[in-house]
Amino acid sequence: MCKRFALDLDWDAIAAQFSVAEEDVRGDVLPRPSYNIAPTQNIAVIAQGKDGHRHLTGAYWSLIPSWSPGKTLPYPTYNARVESAHVKSTFAESTRSRRTIIPASGYYEWRGRRPFYFSPEMESTALAMAGLYSWRRPSAASLWQLTATILTCPAVDGPATVHDRMPLLVPAGMTSEWLDPSIDGARLLAPMRKAGAELSARLHFHEVAPPEGDGPSLIRPINREEPMRLF
């Protein structure tokens, strides 16, 4: 699963990385830098609109389907399993045509009570986590709210030594297909899972202290080397 991640990115660089035009960046609703983002907080998403443009904007982290009468569901929706998202009523419509990329500096996973931080090979490149989105409108007088979830898949290689699940990553070569709402996402899940696993296998990771508060110190490696014994 992924229930904590870090987001300290240059939005201009993110827009360039994912081919988002300057006029399609909603800087007023994008999240502030944080090293301890949790479900229900504001995150950044990249999605393709009906106008054919890619948009970089903010979203509520926990997908609320349009048919839900309220903002709270009886089960968590900050993650969705890639194996079943296309058949689950909460996520099926979004899998079909409302897919997004959720950029991150890195993410945390836990081995028991010990957290580990995962980050890309190149610090200047954001992780592209696969996500789904949905719009909800609390009432006729309310504005539409964008909500999103992160897709997860079985962990492989290094990540599997920490946890049995990991975020599904979007390879650069599949970005266009993944964001294209005219393509049924159900047929993309298997190839995405295979290609994304190759990216995850190359991630750097290290143990960190339990994330409390905020700031860059949260991703500082823990040194577990035992002190030298002289006698």
Check residue 140 and give its pLDDT. Answer: 65
Note the helical H segments in 101-143: none
Model confidence at 76, pLDDT cuts 50, 70, 90, reads very high
Residue 202: exposure state from Cβ atoms within 10 A (0-12, 13-18, ≥19): exposed
Is 109 annotated as catalytic? yes
Predicted pLDDT at 210: 95
Of 96, 197, 115, 122, nearest to 153 by C-alpha is: 197
pLDDT of residue 69: 86
Rounded Cα–Cα distance for residues 103 and 44 (Å): 7
Report, at the CATH architecture level, how domain 5-209 is classified. Answer: Alpha-Beta Complex (3.90)
- What are the extents of the domains in the chain? 5-209
Characterise 124 by phi-psi region: left (phi > 0), alpha (psi -120 to 50), beta (else).
Answer: alpha
Q: Which of 22, 23, 109, 198 is catalytic?
A: 109
Six token digits for residue 98: 């409302």
Region 113-137: what's the mean pLDDT?
A: 91
Question: How far, in Å, CA of 152 to CA of 79, rounded?
Answer: 7
